[in-house]
Amino acid sequence: MAEYHIFVVSDGTGETATKMSKAALLQFKPANTTFVRHSNVRSVDMVREIVRAAEREPALVIHTFASRRLRQEMEQACQELNVASLDLIGPLIEKLAEFIETQPAETPGLLHQVDDDYFDRIDALAFTVRHDDNRSPEDLHEADIILVGVSRTSKTPLGIYLGQEGWKVANIPVVMGEELPRELFQVDQSRIVGLMTTPERLAEVRKARLSRLGSLDSTYADMKRVAAELEYCRKIFEQNADWLLVDVAGKSVEETAAEILDRLFGKERRL
């Protein structure tokens, strides 16, 4: 069976291009695909060496260069050695240049420049990790977003995802018979998000969880127990009408995060 090699080549980390290529590849589900990532490629010699390596495999070269010269060099080398290639960033940069009527800086790896914005994002992420699972409720008022929900409604991954985007997130689990921390009711209630799902979906997610853990404990994923927990949670949400309710059933973390941000802060947000 053929082995497909996809070379992702960049003068930065090549991270965005890898994500994009993985996303596109999901439309095909090929069995034997290997990604090879070449980061920090910043000379013509390096470009030529990579194309020679690609020529020895059934390989496709997907590249993103901030430098127009390396971009052109790559396209030319691939053409000469008859290697399939795609310039993933060139058309976008050229379109932006036209739209904004400015010439691009051609600085490699600008995405990950260490600047204030970058430090802010790291701080937000650290805040989120510190406030996972009702840790440190004493500075809950500093959170931009507070997620509330029963076990396995994606509170942790949602928080981390939003934390990486620069939002300070805390999450508070709802456990039957346990009081929510009093600090929760002393902060701006419009920043609180109640996560809801269906009993069917929650039982399914918990079953998957248990089977991966190799556990035989069945109460956790039991339909009756799951329904009772959600009912208990729903009552709490009803008593707190100011909270934003979000249904996570069947949605990915990214989809739920986008919905939360749209509804809390509007669709048109300055970056």
Choice between 36 and 236, CB closer to a second copy = 36
Q: Which of 44, 84, 223, 228 is the binder for a second copy (CB under 8 A)?
A: 84
Over the window 20 to 59, marking each residue x when it contacts a second copy by CB under 8 A and - when it does not, the resulting string is xxxxxxxxxxx--xxxxx-xx-----------------x-
The tokens of 155 are what?
């509170």
Q: Which of 19, 56, 69, 263 is the binder for a second copy (CB under 8 A)?
A: 19
The beta-strand segments (E) located in 137-224 are 145-149, 169-173, 192-196
Choice between 98 and 178, CB closer to a second copy = 98
Closest approach, Cβ 146 to a second copy, in A, equals 17
Q: Is 180 in the site for a second copy (CB under 8 A)?
A: no
Q: Is 92 in the site for a second copy (CB under 8 A)?
A: yes
Report the C-alpha gap between 53 and 78 in whole angstroms. 11
List phi, psi (to 5°) of 173: -75, 145
The distance from CA 89 to its chain's CA centroid, rounded to whole angstroms, is: 20
Report the C-alpha gap between 41 and 66 in whole angstroms. 11
Residue ranges in 151-170 that form contacts with a second copy under rule CB under 8 A: 154, 156-157, 160-161, 163-164
Over the window 113 to 142, marking each residue x when it contacts a second copy by CB under 8 A and - when it does not, the resulting string is xx-x-xxx-xx-xx--x--x----------
Total number of residues that touch a second copy (CB under 8 A): 84
Q: Are 74 and 47 in contact (CB under 8 A)?
A: yes
Q: Is 74 in the site for a second copy (CB under 8 A)?
A: no
Q: Which segment (82-90, 137-145, 182-190, 222-230) binds a second copy by CB under 8 A?
A: 82-90
Q: Is 200 in the site for a second copy (CB under 8 A)?
A: no
Q: Is 96 in the site for a second copy (CB under 8 A)?
A: yes
Residue ranges in 208-267 that form contacts with a second copy under rule CB under 8 A: 208-209, 212, 250, 252-255, 258, 267
**Burial (Cβ within 10 Å: 0-12, 13-18, ≥19) of residue 114:** exposed
SS3 annotation, 45-106: HHHHHHHHHHHCCCEEEEEECCCHHHHHHHHHHHHHHCCEEEECCHHHHHHHHHHHCCCCCC
Choice between 178 and 268, CB closer to a second copy = 268
Report the C-alpha gap between 200 and 221 in whole angstroms. 10
Three-state DSSP class for 1? coil
Q: Are 38 and 50 in contact (CB under 8 A)?
A: yes
The tokens of 182 are what?
């009093």
Closest approach, Cβ 46 to a second copy, in A, equals 14
